C-alpha cells in the first residue's frame, strides 16, 4: 500500500497536541495541553483555538459525540470539559480530588464514560450532568483509554495492572490479564471484526481481545516502538501511532504489520483519528498535526 504523509505546523509554538478526534462538522478537534486550548483544524489546514477556562487544565483525550459536542479530559484540573457546538465550554468537577481523568468515550446511550488514572475508577456523566463513579478491583491499576464495545459494555486498558477491563452499564467490572508481563496497555479501539484492539507501549505489541476475553498479541517489527493510540481505518485495518520509533503503524485483522516513517524527526505522535476526508490524522507533540492519505497505484 502506498501512502503519503503531510504535516501541518500549528501557529502557537510548543502547544503540545495530544488527543485528536473527527467532529460532526468535518473538522479535526485536538487538545493542546501546553497552551491550555482546544484546537480545530479543517481538512484544508485552517486552524482556530478555544481557550479552556481553567488554567493549566492538562487537557489530554478528546472525543466528538453523536450530538456534535466535543468532550475532553482535564487531567490536571480534575475536570471533564465539554465544548458545545456553539463554542461554549462547560466543565464538570469530579467528586473526588486528584482523580486525574485520562481516557474518554461516548457510551451506548449518549452518556460520557472516562477513566480516572489516579482515582482508580471508571467515571460516567449522565445526560442530566450527574457523575457516577465505579471503583476498580485492583489497586493502582492506572486505567487509561476507554471505548464502547460491540457488546454494550465499555472496555478499557489498565496500564499498571497489565489488564484489559470491561464494565457493564450496571457497573460490574471484569478484568483480563495480558499474556505479556508488564506490557503497559494504553490505547484501545473497536476493530472491524467486533473485537477490541489495543496497544502495549512496553510490550511492543498490538493486542486483540474478543468480547468473550480471548487475547492474541502481535509483535511490532521495530524494537521499542512505544505504540500509544489505535483506531480502525477506512481500509478495514487498524492504525496506530509509534511514539518511540516515530512511525505510523498498520495491522490487518490477520496480524500483518506495516510501518510508515513520519517526516519530522522526534515528532512524538500520540492520538490518531479518521478524518472526514478518509485520511488518518494524528497529533504530534512537536506542535504539528499529521495526515496520512492513501495513494492510488499507477
Cell numbers for 127, please give them.
Answer: 445526560
138 is catalytic: no
Sign of CA dihedral 203, 20, 214, 135: positive
Enumerate residues 6+ apart whose C-beta is below 8 A from 172. Answer: none
Residue of 109, 228, 270, 278 marked active site: 270
Which of 235, 233, 227 is CA-nearest to residue 270? 227
Q: Are 256 and 250 in contact (CB under 8 A)?
A: no
The residue to which cell 460491540 is assigned: 150
Give which of 246, 273, 263 is closest to 31, Cα–Cα. 273
Are the CB atoms for 154 and 170 separated by under 8 Å?
no
- Determine the 3-state secondary structure of 281 from DSSP: strand
Q: Which of 258, 214, 209 is nearest to 238 (CA)?
A: 258
Report the C-alpha gap between 18 and 205 in whole angstroms: 21
Residue 141, by phi and psi: left (phi above 0), alpha (psi -120 to 50) or beta? alpha
Q: How far apart are CA 186 and CA 142, in angstroms?
A: 10
Phi, psi torsion values for 197, nearest 5 degrees: -115, 140
Pairing of strands 131-135, 280-284: unpaired
Please list the active-site residues: 270
Amino acid at each position: 500500500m502506498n501512502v503519503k504523509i503531510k504535516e501541518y505546523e500549528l501557529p502557537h509554538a510548543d502547544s503540545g497536541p495530544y488527543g485528536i478526534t473527527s467532529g460532526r462538522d468535518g473538522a479535526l478537534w485536538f487538545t493542546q495541553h501546553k497552551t491550555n486550548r482546544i484546537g480545530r483544524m479543517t481538512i484544508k489546514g485552517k486552524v482556530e483555538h478555544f481557550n479552556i477556562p481553567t488554567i493549566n487544565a492538562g487537557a489530554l483525550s478528546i472525543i466528538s459525540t453523536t450530538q456534535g459536542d466535543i468532550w475532553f479530559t482535564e487531567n490536571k484540573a480534575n475536570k471533564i470539559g465539554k465544548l458545545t457546538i456553539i463554542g461554549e465550554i462547560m466543565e464538570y468537577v469530579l467528586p473526588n480530588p486528584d482523580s486525574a481523568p485520562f481516557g474518554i468515550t461516548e457510551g451506548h446511550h449518549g452518556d460520557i464514560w472516562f477513566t480516572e488514572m489516579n482515582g482508580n475508577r471508571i467515571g460516567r456523566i449522565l445526560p442530566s450532568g450527574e457523575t457516577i463513579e465505579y471503583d476498580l478491583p485492583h489497586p493502582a491499576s492506572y486505567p487509561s483509554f476507554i471505548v464502547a464495545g460491540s457488546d454494550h459494555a465499555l472496555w478499557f486498558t489498565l496500564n499498571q495492572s497489565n489488564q484489559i477491563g470491561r464494565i457493564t452499564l450496571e457497573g460490574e467490572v471484569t478484568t483480563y490479564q495480558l499474556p505479556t508481563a508488564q506490557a503497559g496497555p494504553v490505547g484501545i479501539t473497536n476493530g472491524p471484526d467486533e473485537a477490541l484492539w489495543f496497544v502495549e507501549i512496553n510490550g511492543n505489541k498490538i493486542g486483540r481481545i474478543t468480547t468473550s476475553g480471548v487475547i492474541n498479541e502481535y509483535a511490532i517489527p521495530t524494537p521499542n516502538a512505544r505504540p500509544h493510540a489505535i483506531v480502525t481505518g477506512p481500509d478495514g485495518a487498524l492504525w496506530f501511532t509509534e511514539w518511540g520509533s516515530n512511525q505510523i503503524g498498520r495491522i490487518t485483522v490477520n496480524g500483518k504489520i506495516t510501518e510508515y516513517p513520519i517526516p519530522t524527526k522526534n515528532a512524538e505522535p500520540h492520538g490518531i483519528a479518521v478524518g472526514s476526508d478518509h485520511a488518518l490524522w494524528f497529533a504530534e507533540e512537536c506542535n504539528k498535526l499529521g495526515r496520512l492519505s492513501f495513494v492510488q497505484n499507477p
